Every structure is written in structure tokens, then in C-alpha cells.
Copies of this chain bind each other. A is one copy, B any other.
Amino acid sequence: MGRPRIKDVAEYAGVSAKTVSNVLNDYEHVSEQTRTAVREAIDALGYRVNIAGRQLRRGRTGVIALAVPELDIAYFAELAKHVMAETERRGSTTLLLETGGRRERELAAVHGFDAQFTDGVILSPLALQPRDLAGRDTRLPLVLLGECNPPGSADHVAIDNVTAAREATEHLLARGRRRIAVVGGDLRGPQNTSRLRTVGYQEALSAAGLPVPEELVLPVPAFRWADGAAAARTLMRLPQRPDALLCLNDHLALGAVRALHEDGWSVPGDVEVVGFDDIEATRFSIPTITTVAPDKPGIARRAVELLLDRIDAGGPGGPAVDETAGHRLIVRESSGG
């Protein structure tokens, strides 16, 4: 025998299918007696609602998607934990997708097949272009995390990246460092996270009356350990080597520290290192890593809140919201803490 349907429960309890449905949905006008009988029937048959049927009728799935570039970048894994906890707390389920930072996969999360399963999407974009969101189907609510070009095209939650990078740079300056490199920095690309943080770095240098040496702003192909290691080696081979590295995420910082160690440089003695994200590894690495800690629970909570509000509102709702989450610099051994 297949799974019991609502009709089977109804027959067992001697009521109509709709009454069972009413019990399931906590409709108020159901007598205590009927309610009990139905509950017993449900238990006896081991009935559970069929999501497909419900979704078809209601037009909602109760599932939201969270699309991040890479799960094995710890920041995204930690963020995903918080988002999942928050959606669960609010009675929804999270469908976690990995985009690999590839534009076509980011688009798919918003427009494509996977979007079918969901009532809304939280996307942490890397490659998305401004025009990609232009013709967007506004029936599917979207919240963007981190940076993206077109402000106002969708709800958006991020830390103040310019300020965060400025503060991190000021910290290094205050410690007497003068040749500070940016690993993963970018002066010319789109208005993304790298760009904004590099701007904050420039601001700090300028405010201190220092020039911004272009050769110290080094883009990387990806934000992983190996990229940080390679970048550190490149930078240390410059005629005038840096005395500090501002790494735009913690994996780059950890990779850089490893490469410096292999090549005989001491951290923080010869070179100080700062990262971004405050992943768990930075509290246990040798040395521990100074890092900009974004308020991950706050980002997750706010993103889920915004998304569920849009979903509940139904229509396109009000204008896009821009939210700034908190951050703080945590000084650890890699910059003398």
C-alpha cells in the first residue's frame, strides 16, 4: 500500500477530507472531539501531508534558496549555518546551492531551474553583472549578500566594506607599517567587495599622507589558501617588499602566512598579516590571524527577515532596501596582538 492520503485519514476518522485539512491547518472552528479523532487517525495511519499537493494549491514551497560561491570557503559555510538556523527558526527550509562564483550558475539561482523549488533566493554574488538583474522576474524575491553593482535592484545586506578596510589599514599604519600590500585587491574592476575594500585601503593611506603603490595591490584568481600563498611570494619578491599584507579574506591570509613561513619570513616580525571574515581557523592557526569580523548572525538574520517579509507581502512590495551589518577588527598574533 502506498502512503496514506488525506482521504484515507478522513475515512478512518469518519469525517470529510476538508475537515482533516482544517485540523492540519489549525482552523479554529473544529470541535475538540473531531480534532482529537482526526489526530488519532493521523497517528494511526502515519499520515503526513504531501508537500507537492499543498504547494500546488497554495503556490508556496516553504523553501528558500541560499546560493554561495564555494562551500569550502569557511566564511560561506559559517554563514550558511546561520542562515539555515534562522530559516528553520521561522518555519522554512533552506536549499543550499553552490555557484562556484560562475555567472551562469548565479543567474540560474535567480532565474533558473533551481529557483522553481523556492519562494525566494538569498544570493552571494561574485560574477553577476549589473544588467543581469535588469530583466529579473520580480515575482521571485531576492536578497543579495555582499557587494553587487546596481544599488536598488534588490534588497541587499553587507558590512561597510570601505570603512572596514580603512580601519584594518589604519591598524597596520598605527603599528608602524608603511608598505602595506592588498592581497586580492582590485582598483579597476566592478564595484564589488574587492574594489570597495581596496578603496578603504586607499583612503587610509591617503589620510596618512602616504602614496598608494600600485604594485602592492595584487588581484588573485580565487580567494583560497593557494592563491594567498602565491600572492605572498610574488609580493615578497618585489624590489621593495611589503611589510604588511591586508588579505581580503582569511583563507588568503592563512595561505600567505604559510608561504611566508616556508620562505623564512617571520609573522608578525617581518610582515604583519590581516584577514577578513573571522573564520574559526584564524583563532587556532599559528600565528592566530588578525581579522575583520563581520556580524555573521546579524547578516543572516536580516537577510532571512527581508526575504520572508517580501515573500509574505506577495507582490513586488516596496523599494529595495540596503542594510549595513556590523563589523569589528579583532587583533591577534599576526599583527602583534
Contacts and interface: CB of A to CB of B under 8 A. Distances in A.
B63 A117 contact: yes
Given A78-B72, A84-B98, A258-B285, A53 B51 contact: no
A326 B229 CA distance: 30
A52 B48 contact: no
Interface in A135-166: 137, 139
A7 interface: no
Interface string A30-67: 00000000000000001011111101100001010000
Nearest to A55: B52
A53 B50 contact: no
Contacts of A93: 95, 113-114, 117
A49 B63 CA distance: 18
Contacts of A78: 71-72
A126 to B, nearest CB: 16
Interface string A209-248: 0000000000000001110010000000000000000000
A316 to B, nearest CB: 13
B81 A71 contact: yes
Contact of A80 (B52, B71, B255, B258): B71
A52 B116 CA distance: 9
A78 B51 CA distance: 30
A3 interface: yes
A96 interface: yes
Interface in A59-118: 61, 63, 70-72, 74, 77-78, 80-81, 84, 93-96, 98, 113-114, 116-117
A172 interface: no
Contacts of A61: 52
Interface residues of A, number: 48
A288 B113 CA distance: 41
Contacts of A261: 286
Interface in A232-285: 254-255, 257-258, 261, 280-281, 283-285
Given A71-B80, A229-B284, A258-B286, A52 B56 contact: yes
B225 A116 contact: no
A72 B81 contact: yes
Given A72-B280, A94-B96, A258-B286, 12 more contacts: A50-B116, A51-B116, A52-B61, A63-B117, A74-B74, A74-B77, A84-B98, A93-B114, A117-B117, A225-B283, A258-B284, A281-B281
Give 10 closest A-B pairs by Cβ, nearest first: A52-B55, A96-B96, A52-B56, A258-B284, A225-B284, A51-B116, A71-B77, A72-B77, A286-B286, A77-B77
